[in-house]
Amino acid sequence: MSTPKGSVLVVGGGIAGVQAALDLADSGFYVHLVEKSAAIGGSMSQLDKTFPTNDCSACILSPKLVECGRHLNINLLTLSEVLSIDGEPGSFKVKVRQNPRYVDVDKCIACGNCAEKCPKKVPNEFDLGLGTRKAIYLRYPQAVPLKYAIDPEHCIYLKKPGRCGFCEKECPAGAINFKDTPREHDIEVGSVILALGFKPFDPSRLDFTGYGQFKNVVTSMEFERLLSPSGPCLGHMERPSDHQEPRKIAWLQCVGSRDINKACHGYCSSVCCMYAIKQAVIAREHSESGDVDATIFFMDMRTHGKGFEAYYDRAREEGINFHRARVHTVLPAGNDNLKLRFTGEDGKLREDEFELVVLSVGLETDPQVMRLAHQLGIHLDSDSFAETTCFQPVETSRKGIFVCGALAEPKDIPQSVMEASAAALEAERILYPARWTETRKKEFPPERDVHAEPPRIGVFVCSCGINIASVVDVQAVTDYAWTLPGVVLAQNNLFTCSQDTINQMADIIKKENLNRVVVASCTPRTHEPLFQETLREAGINKFLFEMANIRDQDSWVHQNDPEAATIKAMDLVRMAVAKVRGDDPLPYNSVTVTKSALVIGAGVAGMTAALSLADQGFPVTLVERKDRLGGHGRKFFRTWQGQEIQPYLEELVDMVESNEKIDVCLGSTIQEVSGSVGQFKTRLSNGKEIEHGVAIVAVGAESYKPREGRWNFLYGKNPAVHTLLELDQKFIKGEIDAKNLNQAVFIHCVGSRVPERPYCSRVCCTHAIDQAIHLKETNPEMDIFMLYRDIRTYGKREHLYQKARALGIIFIRYDLDNIPRVTEENGRLRIEVKDPIIDADVTLHPDLLVLASAVRPRDDVGELSKLFKCAMSSDGFLLEAHMKLRPVDFATDGVYLAGLCHYPKPVEETIAQAKAAASRAGLVLSRDAVPAESITAVVNLQKCTGCSVCTKVCAYHAVNMDPNTGKAAVDTGLCKGCGACVAGCRSDAITLKNLGNEQIMAAVEAAMDDIQAGQGL
Amino acid sequence: MSDIAKKQAEWQPKIIAFLCNWCSYAGADLAGVSRYQYPPSLRIVRVPCSGRVSANMILDALRSGADGVLVSGCHPGDCHYISGNYYARRRFAVLKRFLEFVGIEPDRVNFSWISASEGEQFAEVATEVTERVKKLGPARHLVKEF
What is this model's ipTM? 0.96
Residues 6+ apart with CB under 8 A from B73: B20, B23, B24, B49, B50, B51, B79, B84, B85, B88, B113
Mean pLDDT (whole number) for A761-771: 98
Please state, in angstroms and rounded to a whole number, the distance separating the CA atoms of residues B112 and B89. Answer: 9
**B64–A1005 C-beta distance less than 8 A:** yes
Distance from CA of B124 to the nearest CA of A (A): 12
The average pLDDT across A127-152 equals 92
In the stretch 936-995 of chain A, residues with CB closer than 8 A to chain B read: 953, 955-956, 976-980, 982-984, 992, 995
Q: Is residue B142 part of a domain?
A: no
Higher pLDDT: B100 or A663? It is: A663
- Listed in sequence order, the residues at least 6 apart from A1013 whose beta carbon sits closer than 8 Å to its beta carbon are none
In this prediction, residue A501 carries a pLDDT of 81
Nearest Cα of chain B lies from the Cα of A142 at a distance, in angstroms, of 10
Question: Which pTM was predicted?
Answer: 0.84
Q: Is residue A213 predicted with pLDDT exceeding 80?
A: yes
Q: Tell me which residues of chain A, numbers 387 to 426, contact chain B at a CB-CB cutoff of 8 Å.
A: none
Average pLDDT over residues A911-932: 96
A559–B16: do the CB atoms touch at under 8 Å?
Answer: no
To the nearest whole angstrom, how far is the Cα of A56 from the nearest Cα of chain B?
7
Residues of B in contact with A1003 (CB under 8 A): 45
- Residue A397 is classified by DSSP as S
Put simply, whether B49 touches A (Cβ < 8 Å) is yes
- Is A1004's CB within 8 Å of B64's CB? yes
Interface of A with B in 276-335 (CB under 8 A): none
Q: Looking at the predicted structure, is the pLDDT value of residue A57 above 90?
A: no
How many independent structural domains does chain B possess?
1
For residues A5 and A17, give the distance between their C-alpha atoms in angstroms, rounded to a whole number. Answer: 20
* Average pLDDT value for chain A: 94
B124 touches chain A (CB under 8 A): no
State the pLDDT confidence band at A1017, using cuts at 50, 70 and 90: very low
| CATH value at residue B62 | 3.40.50
Nearest to A950 by CA among A892, A893, A991, A994: A991
Span A865-875, pLDDT tens digits: 878 877 788 78
Instruction: Report, as an integer, the average pLDDT of A945-954.
Output: 94
Residue B40: what residue type? P
Cis peptide bond N-terminal to A52, omega within 30: yes
At A921 the pLDDT is 98
Answer whether residue B66 is part of any domain: yes
Q: Among A208-212, A664-668, A930-934, B89-93, which is the least confidently predicted range?
A: A930-934
pLDDT at A1: 56
Establish whether the linkage from the previous residue to A587 is cis, with ω within 30° of 0.
no
Report pLDDT digits (tens) over A74-123.
999 999 999 999 999 999 999 999 999 999 998 888 888 999 999 999 99
pLDDT single digits (tens) A555-591: 999 999 999 999 999 999 999 999 999 999 999 988 8
Q: Do B32 and A1003 touch (CB under 8 A)?
A: no
Considering the domain boundaries, does residue B117 fall inside one? Answer: yes
**Better-scored residue on pLDDT, A418 or A52:** A418
A112 touches chain B (CB under 8 A): no
Q: What pLDDT, on the 0 to 100 scale, is given for residue A473?
A: 97
What does the alpha-carbon distance between residue A23 and residue A679 come to, in Å, rounded to a whole number? Answer: 21
At A319-347, the pLDDT tens digits run 999 999 999 899 999 999 999 999 887 78
Of A18-27, A906-915, A940-949, B77-86, the least confident: B77-86
| Domain enclosing residue B18, as ranges | 3-136
Mean pLDDT of B118-130: 94
Across the interface, of A568, A935, A1005, the residue whose CB is closest to B40 is A568
pLDDT of A59 higher than 80 = no
Q: What is the pLDDT of residue A405?
A: 97
Residues in chain B closer than 8 A to A558 (CB atoms): 37-38, 40
CB contact under 8 A, A565 and B12: no
Residues 6+ apart with CB under 8 A from A99: A79, A80, A81, A182
Q: Of all residues in chain A, what percent carry a pLDDT higher than 90? A: 83
- pLDDT for res A162: 85
- Whether B113 and chain A come into contact, CB under 8 Å, resolves to no
List the single residue in A553, A935, A978 with the smallest CB-CB distance to B28.
A553
Residue B80 lies in a domain: yes
Nearest CB to A557 within list B25, B38, B47: B38
The kind and range of the H/E element at A33 are strand A30-34
Q: Is there a contact between A910 and A900 (Cβ–Cβ < 8 Å)?
A: yes
Give B-chain residues touching A230 at CB under 8 angstroms.
34, 117
pLDDT range class, residue B1, cuts 50, 70, 90: low
State residue A1012's pLDDT score.
47
Amino acid at A290: G
- Work out the average pLDDT over A921-941: 94
Distance CA A662, CA A659 (A): 6
The answer to whether residue B49 sits within a structural domain is yes
Per this entry, what is the length of chain A?
Answer: 1017
B54 to A523: CB separation less than 8 angstroms, yes or no: no
- Say if the Cβ atoms of A953 and B51 lie within 8 Å: yes
| Confidence bin at B146 (pLDDT 50/70/90) | low
Q: Is residue B144 part of a domain?
A: no
Give the integer Cα–Cα distance in Å for A430 and A8: 11
The string of DSSP codes covering B97-134 is: HHHHHHT--GGGEEEEE--TT-HHHHHHHHHHHHHHHH
C-alpha to C-alpha distance for A422 and A412, rounded to whole angstroms:
15
Q: Which residues of B touch A58 (CB under 8 A)?
A: 116-117
Q: For position A465, what pLDDT does the model report?
A: 76
> pLDDT (tens digit, 9 = 90+) per residue, A815-826?
999 999 999 999
- Does the beta carbon of A141 lie under 8 angstroms from any beta carbon of chain B? yes
Residues of B in contact with A524 (CB under 8 A): 46
Residue A714 clears pLDDT 80, i.e. is over it: yes
For chain A, list the domains and their CATH numbers.
1-98+182-198+365-440 (3.50.50.60), 100-181 (3.30.70.20), 201-364 (3.50.50.60), 457-584 (3.40.50), 592-700+858-927 (3.50.50.60), 721-854 (3.50.50.60), 937-992 (3.30.70.20)
Q: A344 — contact with chain B (CB < 8 Å)?
A: no
* pLDDT of the residue at B119: 86
CB–CB of B23/B88 below 8 Å?
Answer: no
